[in-house]
Amino acid sequence: MGNKYFGTDGIRGRVGDSPVTADFMLRLGRAAGKVLAEGDRRSVVIGKDTRISGYMFESALEAGLAAAGANVALLGPMPTPAVAYLTRTLFACAGIVISASHNPFHDNGIKFFSADGEKLPDEVEEAIESEMEKPFSTVASEHMGKAVRIDDAAGRYIEFCKGTIPFGTQLRGLKIVVDCANGATYRVGPSVLEELGAKIIAIGNKPDGLNINDGCGSTHPEFVCQAVLEQGADVGIALDGDGDRVIMVDASGEVVDGDELLYIIAAARQDRNLMNGGVVGTVMSNLGLELALKKRGIPFLRTAVGDRHVHKALVSNDWILGGEASGHLLCLDRTSTGDGIVSALQVLEVMVNQGRNLAELAADVQKLPQTMINIPVNGQVAELMASAAVRDAVNATQQQLGESGRVILRPSGTEPLVRVTLEGTDADQVGILAEDLAAVVRAEMTG
């Protein structure tokens, strides 16, 4: 049937607009329960971030799952990777996250995890969508599901995170600013770092249901940059609303993005003979990352944008490290999905063990200038991408950049945007050419 509702990262959209409505979530819960809850494993874990609509969707999903005969374990506000972890350790048949990740509060969405704490295969998503086409039905009363709250969920996840770095590793002496994006990590993020001995200045840790990702978090690193400088901190950590991404900041207030963090982790794994194979990035990964890894003899593979594509490539190659410049990093030797807190801990461990600051560790990655322009679209993405005028403009731009540059034109998988991205050796040229190409795209949309 193909995916009618599921996108590159679950189901996402503006609250109140189809499919992000309460009645849809009720039907989705029933369909998911029918497909996923089988045999003895009939419990589904549900976590959410801090946006206000999470209450409504949590209740709707719970009702739908119960109607299908599935039991529900409610975690409350909890990072996406925590839901993946707890799905495994609670032996649930699936996990559900109610979140729109780095999007504003007026958006929301649903992500699913399998019993192994990994994203659902396409065929399972298609089976859920197929089940949604059937009339809503309820199992007999004696077979209805029950719901419980997992009161110690935060403590379980905190201990898991601490266990992803070698026993005895201490962060004493480090002064860390952690920006929780007023999102799902607002409690567990600071707690993990404090329990490992660091001095913590927590910001973006007062969610009110409306301020998630609002001028803070990994999509607005200027907030943590300023705090690092004001506090004289050694390092800053910026997480996103659901806690699966991380961007870090050095003591000088300079951003260290996902490409550089991925290199730091890979280099340290290689130095300790723990690097299994190569690194997976995406078409958006900066060429500087690829060149830095090449100097170390570490293979590098690019995929389409999206952590599910990165994960698939890692599994098929039996590799352990991959990620995106946005800070969505996969350390499969530590956990099954992208985890901002776990990824930050891997970098902090390197800093402590090598006695080097973050700027020194990132210095080997000489990033090429890159410009991205986001263009809002209202449908017609396929027609736009197939436009002869747009294709000609892309080819002409690539010719001007030459072999030392790249042009990427792609629709966003999570927002109604087309992204124009250029990379090259000359920052001024990259900026001018990006604006020129964006103008062609806009003209084609209005024409």
Residue 120 and residue 61 in one domain: yes
pLDDT tens for each residue of 349-368: 999 999 999 999 999 999 99
Q: What is the CATH number of the domain that holds 378?
A: 3.30.310.50
Classify residue 58: in a domain, yes or no.
yes
Query: Helices 80-89 and 153-162 meet at what angle, rounded to 10?
Result: 100
Cα–Cα distance for residue pair 340/327, rounded to 1 Å: 8
Pair of tokens at residue 154 = 């935060």
Pairing of strands 71-77, 43-48: parallel
Classify residue 3: in a domain, yes or no.
no
In the chain, the number of structural domains is 3
**Does the active-site annotation cover 316?**
no
Boundary of a domain, candidates 362, 385, 404: 362
Cα–Cα distance for residue pair 310/429, rounded to 1 Å: 30
Enclosing domain of residue 34:
11-151
Task: Give me the catalytic one of 101, 191, 218, 336.
Answer: 101
Residues of the chain with confidence (pLDDT) below 70: 1-2, 447
Residue 198 and residue 301 in one domain: yes
The 147-149 sheet, strands edge to edge: 11-14, 107-113, 94-98, 43-48, 71-77, 147-149
Classify residue 5: in a domain, yes or no.
no
pLDDT given for residue 1 in this prediction: 42
Residue 374 and residue 357 in one domain: no
Q: Which residues contact 147 (CB under 8 A, 6 or more apart)?
A: 62, 66, 71, 72, 73, 74
Classify residue 2: in a domain, yes or no.
no
Residue 143 and residue 183 in one domain: no
Pairing of strands 235-239, 175-179: parallel
pLDDT given for residue 447 in this prediction: 64
Q: What is the CATH number of the domain that holds 94?
A: 3.40.120.10
Residue 111 and residue 230 in one domain: no
C-beta of residue 249 within 8 angstroms of C-beta of residue 222: no
Boundary of a domain, candidates 320, 335, 362: 362
Residue 215 and residue 119 in one domain: no
Cα–Cα distance for residue pair 121/276, rounded to 1 Å: 25
Residue 173 and residue 146 in one domain: no
Classify residue 439: in a domain, yes or no.
yes
Residue 165 and residue 297 in one domain: yes
Boundary of a domain, candidates 336, 362, 388: 362
Neighbours of 378 (CB within 10 A): 7
Cα–Cα distance for residue pair 25/97, rounded to 1 Å: 12
Residue 350 and residue 389 in one domain: no
Residue 23's closest CA among 51, 54, 57, 52?
Answer: 57
Residue 96 and residue 213 in one domain: no
Taking the model in full, what pTM does it have? 0.90
Residue 132 and residue 167 in one domain: no
pLDDT tens for each residue of 35-63: 999 877 899 999 999 999 999 999 999 99
Strand partners, 419: 374, 410
